[in-house]
Amino acid sequence: MTLEQRLAQGDEEALSECYAALGPLVRHHAGRLVPAHVVDDVVQLVFLEVWRSRARFDSARGLEPWVVAIARKRAIDQLRAEARHSRRSVPLDDTVGVPDATCAVDAACDVRNALAGLPVPQRQAIVLAHFGQLTQREIADRLAIPLGTVKARTTRGLRRLKDLL
């Protein structure tokens, strides 16, 4: 039985062999696309997705191209996440005094209390998106649920959060 067939059947040993055989290639490919400090994360996400989506593998196309395509997608997702993060971060200006943090703490408490009032699936989607800085696709992969479900939970949760605040 081939490695591809064993992987498709859920053989964990096949995943280990796949990692041993294709890990260096994935690491090299990811290293060309993302900063060095996140290459290991991207490689881990690639093989997690290989395992989770093994049923969708088309043996006619070959294992290596499929895994490299996944690596490219996860690397692009990582770059997008870092770009979002860098747009959100505001450089500190030495000329500005320290603002009163009381309002910020009160607002944070209000948000925490409102989040606690949400149903668990909605809260989970919002927390992963906003505090975990994950894309909706990444949330769907992490929770092993359809992308549409993540979108619906996020939308409903944000509406309810707005009402609670």
Interatomic CA distance for residues 38 and 45, integer angstroms:
11
Residues 14, 84, single domain; the answer is yes
Q: Which residue has the higher pLDDT, 59 or 98?
A: 59
Model pLDDT, residue 20: 93
What is the overall mean pLDDT for the chain? 85
Model pLDDT, residue 17: 92
- pLDDT-derived band at 84 (thresholds 50, 70, 90) equals confident
Tell me whether residue 96 is in a domain: no
Residues 17, 64, single domain; the answer is yes
Look at residues 63, 88, 113 and tell me which one is the last residue of a structural domain.
88
Model pLDDT, residue 94: 53
Tell me whether residue 95 is in a domain: no
- pLDDT-derived band at 110 (thresholds 50, 70, 90) equals confident
Range of the domain at 12: 3-88
Look at residues 45, 61, 88 and tell me which one is the last residue of a structural domain.
88
Domain count, the chain: 2
State the CATH number of the domain containing residue 114: 1.10.10.10
CB 72 within 8 A of CB 29: yes
State the CATH number of the domain containing residue 62: 1.10.1740.10
How much is the average pLDDT of 11-35?
91
DSSP 8-state code for residue 97: P
Residues 112, 135, single domain; the answer is yes
Look at residues 66, 88, 110 and tell me which one is the last residue of a structural domain.
88
Whether pLDDT at 152 is above 80: yes
Interatomic CA distance for residues 164 and 38, integer angstroms:
37
DSSP track, 104-133: HHHHHHHHHHHHHTS-HHHHHHHIIIIIS-
Q: Kindly state the percentage of the chain with pLDDT values over 70.
A: 90
Model pLDDT, residue 165: 80
